[in-house]
Amino acid sequence: MTSANGRYVVVFNGEIYNHFELRERLEKESLSPAWRGHSDTETLLACISSWGIDETLGLCVGMFAFAIYDLAERRLTLARDRLGEKPLYYGFLSGALTFASEVKALRAVAGGALGLHKGALAAYMRLGYIPGPQSIYEGIFRLPPGTTISITSDEVSRAQLPCPEAYWSALALPELHNAQSEPVTQTDALEGLDAVLCNAVKGQMLSDVPLGALLSGGIDSSLIVGMMQAQSMKPVNTFSIGFEGSAFDEAPHARRVAAHLGTCHTELYVNVQDALDLVPSLPATFCEPFADSSQVPTMLVSKLARRHVTVALTGDGGDELFAGYERYFRVYNGFRRIGPMPISLRRAAALVLRHTPLPLINALARMTFRFGNIRNPADRVRKVAEVLASRSPSELNRGLLSLWDSFALLPGTKEVDSVFSRDLPHASSVIEEMMLADTLCYLPDDLLVKVDRSAMASSLETRAPFLDHRVVEYAWGLNLEQKIGDMEGKFLLKKLLDRYVPRPLFNRPKQGFGLPVDGWLQGALRPWAEDMLSPGALAKHDLFDVDLIRTRWKEHVSGSRNWQQHIWTILMFQAWAEKADI
């Protein structure tokens, strides 16, 4: 779209939720053009024409990626939303700065002649996703959340790639509660959260197309739906899926929450074959190697929702803002217990655990009450070894998140620098440091990639009220104790959800949106996996330690170890590489 004054041309992806408010301000300041329509794209152009890009970005509330060209200055600017909900890739190709929402578009521009970024591959093998700003291809980058890059025609001719500049940064979040002039009481914290989150929900419910919500029955999605229903004159459309005969089935929880709130609820039960039928489409959907297996149920529920609505609100972001992951407390409590022990003694104990024969570990562990019902206690014992060997809580957190040792798996490859190997700003506690790391990396590069790609594959637009930057800033402005109480994840969110849903309907252990991948790999997916993990297929790219992968595959198939996440990571790379013809 071209601006009314003819100076700017924009391509825009996303939504600016407060664009009508911005229009009103332009009109009050006598800066509005003769409006041609009601789109937020036109509002964006009018704001930039009047106030410039920097001020406009500071005023926009939304999720977006856009490129705007200033014909007067011959300057192109790329911008991405604060939390990274919408994707934006860029790089120099054939003497031009090229950009797109999907990396496969840039590969098409390059005619397929893009080299594999082995450092990004190593990071993928460790994490199951590629941490930004790298992509799987050499020379192609993801614009970091909350940043812009700007380049003139002259700079393009000199092939000077600009550095991203931040207009908003999650790195500043830990300082927000230090800036409070007066302490906030627990009551005030709850009222403030109710107000700011309700306002975000209200803004994101504005839509000229059918709207609903994805409901798992967990705390985050139930709270969003509760707020939606409280502000709606008719039943909200909600959607969930269940898995037949699976321990991963969350549909009954969602059904009870929906019944209490009075939503118009739709659920679909799927079987193993429904899920397996999606596996061949995963490489094309995600464009890069991506191994979060919850991508499958996310695609299924998106497909279900799109049959009825065009826009769906989600509960994404609640875990990172309100300490919803059990891992936070495991790291905190685990290191508090072992921290005083000499590191030499801890590492000696870890060495013993790592070299104790697996049958002996399993036999001894099953004799204890704690491990009696666990199929492979050795997997848990190996994690204990990681805890003992860790020198710091951040190292322990990295260990719990890590899959493959990329140095062993990919000989001679150096992993790219990721947020887990950088010094982050000082936070008030270990838990806040992990929350910040997840906000900077896991949230934009795993969770939001999963949701955006899965939903857009069905032409469904998803919106996340928790990621309204005003909600994010409010949450970080509170002290950690106000959010977790006496070491309880999402303590404040649960208090707020009590106003909408009775606690017995949601007060249960966090389940996650996972799949029984371990059993699938031993059953229905085994022939496909055997083909992908054959020695010839693994050796094709001359990247991996083939013997290491084959050993773990055999252990998984035999049931002696559960390597489902490790194997899924390899399989998703192999499937992607086959599709991309690497």
Q: What is the CATH number of the domain that holds 292?
A: 3.40.50.620
Q: At what angle do helices 393-401 and 377-389 cross, to 10 degrees?
A: 150
Sheet holding 96-100, edge to edge: 96-100, 89-93, 141-142
Q: What local confidence, expressed as pLDDT, does residue 369 receive?
A: 47
Q: 383 lies in a domain?
A: no
pLDDT score recorded for residue 518: 83
Closest by Cα among 241, 234, 299 to 264: 234
Has residue 366 been placed in a domain? Answer: no
pTM: 0.93
**Cβ partners under 8 Å of residue 79, min gap 6:** 53, 57, 64, 65, 66, 67, 68, 143, 147, 148, 167
| 418: its two tokens | 């990721």
Tell me the C-alpha to C-alpha distance, in Å, between residue 52 and each of 40, 45, 46. 16, 9, 9
Dihedral of alpha carbons 151, 155, 158, 160, sign: negative
DSSP string covering 453-493, please?
Answer: HHHHTTT-EEE-GGGSHHHHHHHHHS-HHHHHTTT-TTHHH
User: Could you tell me if residue 333 is inside a domain?
Assistant: no
Kindly state whether residues 574 and 476 are assigned to the same domain: no
- Identify whether 204 is part of a domain: yes
SS3 content of the chain, % helix, strand, coil (to 5): 50, 10, 35
CB atoms within 10 A of CB 96: 12
77: domain CATH number is 3.60.20.10
DSSP 3-state of 538? helix
Question: How many structural domains comprise the chain?
Answer: 3
For residue 90, the SS3 value is strand
Rounded Cα distance between 144 and 133, Å, is: 6
Specify the pLDDT at position 105: 93
For residue 65, tell me if it sits in a domain. Answer: yes
Q: CB neighbours of 245 closer than 8 A, spacing ≥ 6?
A: none
Same domain, yes or no, for 80 and 194? no
Judgement on whether residues 296 and 258 belong to the same structural domain of the protein? yes
Query: 198 and 157: one domain?
Result: no
Do β-strands 237-243 and 264-270 pair in parallel, antiparallel, or remain unpaired? parallel
Domain that holds residue 561: 516-582
- What pLDDT is stored for residue 535 in this prediction? 96
Q: What gap in Å lies between CA 384 and CA 402, rounded to an integer?
A: 14
- 131 and 196 in a common domain: no
Q: Is residue 359 part of a domain?
A: no
524 SS3 class: coil
Q: Express each pLDDT in 424-453 by its tens digit.
A: 777 778 999 999 999 999 999 999 999 999
Same domain, 161 and 178: no
CB atoms within 10 A of CB 352: 11
Residues of the chain scoring pLDDT < 50 = 369, 371-372
Same domain, 300 and 176: yes
Res 158: pLDDT: 81
Q: Which of 140, 169, 198 is the last residue of a domain?
A: 169
Picking from 169, 200, 235, the residue at the C-terminal end of a domain is 169
pLDDT, position 419: 77
pLDDT on residue 336: 87
Asked if residue 262 and residue 127 are part of one domain, the reply reads no
CB atoms within 10 A of CB 244: 11
Are residues 41 and 111 located together in one domain of the fold? yes
Query: Helix (H, G, I), strand (E, B), or coil: what is residue 75?
Result: strand
Domain end (from 124, 153, 169): 169
Within-domain flag for 577? yes
Do 483 and 435 share a structural domain?
yes
| 53 lies in the same domain as 151 | yes
For residue 393, tell me if it sits in a domain: no
- Predicted pLDDT at 257: 97
Q: Are residues 70 and 145 in the same domain?
A: yes
Coil, strand or helix at 93:
strand
Residue 387 structure tokens = 């805890």
